[in-house]
Amino acid sequence: MSNINNTLCIANGQGADVSLLQKDSLQLDVSGLNSVLDYNAEMERYRSFANFYKTNGAFPQTAKIARITTPIFPSARIGVSPWNCDNAMLWGRKSAAINPNRTSMHRNESQRPGKPGVPPETLQMANNNFLTTLSPEHCRPLAAECMDKLKCGSAEAEIMNLPERVGTFSAIPALGGISLPPGVIVMTALHSPAASAAVTDSAFQIANLADCPQNNSSASSGNPAKKKRKRCGVCAPCRRLINCGVCSSCRNRKTGHQICKFRKCEELKKKAGTSLERTAANGGEAFRWFF
DNA sequence: AGGGACGTAGAG
DNA sequence: CTCTACGTCCCT
């Protein structure tokens, strides 16, 4: 796979090259429409990702390797995402350096309701939801869609999955905001509860993977202490960010100590020792390549 | 087998 | 320290 961007466009049956669309936008020289055209072009690109993953069975357990060519969003080069979200927000740092006019918000400051430093306009989507770092002002299209989906028909928990957003494309523009040179490979694990943090953490984990003694500890050390398995991070329940609030686990959280039934990892549902988690690198942590 | 309760590992 | 949630036991 030399260039996943091309692959994605081909898979989608369209040559949606953002750079070309940008040139078209410039030729039109309708400055007022440029942002809209860019937005639409990038939306098309998002959809191409969605189609790719849909047609390829969501996120495979096996690692995908792709080369980093250019930031996914051209606008990301200047620190603006199509959602009008500062990528820095997703990466858990303040964005003042990029755009001092923006309302900056630290991830840790907005994680828990009721704690100081949480602006009143902060979206409190759910506990541990990385979307909490995004205020409506910054992320209106995304926030509106999320809120709409939350409002309507939550009886069917699947509606909360937000497959086009959760842990997938919302994370990709975050990578678009950093200037990685061509050829650099970034591998991430996406724990849905802290996807933004996991993106950064795991990107560095891969660098130390070979040296990490934990990678072989469970299999070769003969440690009698049974380690808690970690969620795979890629199955549909793992990608869900929001507790349903109505299942027995949610209702019984105080005493049950169990994750929402709709967020329970498919791998963890299986009996220990029967699934991929034994063979996966990184201690069973599912991983994903970004480009 | 399924679900609730509890101990506690692991992360922050 | 708090909090989340995995593993396990026990009950139905």
Which pLDDT tens digit goes with each residue over A66-87?
Answer: 332 223 333 333 333 333 333 3
Quickly give A130 CA vs C1 C1' distance in Å. 23
Mean pLDDT by groups of 10 residues along chain A of 291 residues:
34 34 36 46 50 42 30 33 33 32 34 34 35 34 37 36 37 37 39 36 35 36 64 89 90 91 90 54 37 34
Which pLDDT tens digit goes with each residue over A198-212?
Answer: 333 333 333 333 333
Short-list A91, A248, A256, A84, CA closest to A179: A91
Short-list A234, A230, A167, A227, CA closest to A194: A167
A228 closest-nt by C1' vs CA: C6
Give me the pLDDT at residue A273, please. Answer: 67
Q: Which residues pair with A288 in a beta bridge?
A: A188
- Does the C-beta of A271 come within 7 A of strand B? no
Considering only CA atoms, which residue is closest to the C1' of nucleotide B3? A248
Instruction: Return the half-sphere exposure (C-beta side, CA atoms, 13 A cut-off) of residue A245.
Output: 9
Quickly give A231 CA vs B9 C1' distance in Å. 14
Give me the pLDDT at residue A270, please. Answer: 85
Give me the pLDDT at residue A40, please. Answer: 55
- Does the C-beta of A201 come within 7 A of strand B? yes
Whether the pTM exceeds 0.75: the reply is no
Quickly give A36 CA vs C3 C1' distance in Å. 43
* Strand B nucleotides where any atom sits below 7 Å of a protein CB: 3-10, 12
Give me the pLDDT at residue A271, please. Answer: 78
Quickly give A51 CA vs B10 C1' distance in Å. 36
Q: Let me know: does A212 contact A203? Beta carbons within 8 Å.
A: no
- Does the C-beta of A214 come within 7 A of strand B? no
Give me A94's structure tokens: 């303040």
Considering only CA atoms, which residue is closest to the C1' of nucleotide B11? A194
In sequence order, the 6+-apart residues with CB closer than 8 A to the CB of A86 are A79, A80, A95, A98, A99, A102, A138, A177
- Does the C-beta of A108 come within 7 A of strand B? yes
CA distances from A38 to A16, A24, A34, A42, A170 (A): 12, 10, 6, 6, 17
Considering only CA atoms, which residue is closest to the C1' of nucleotide C2? A112
- Does the C-beta of A224 come within 7 A of strand B? no
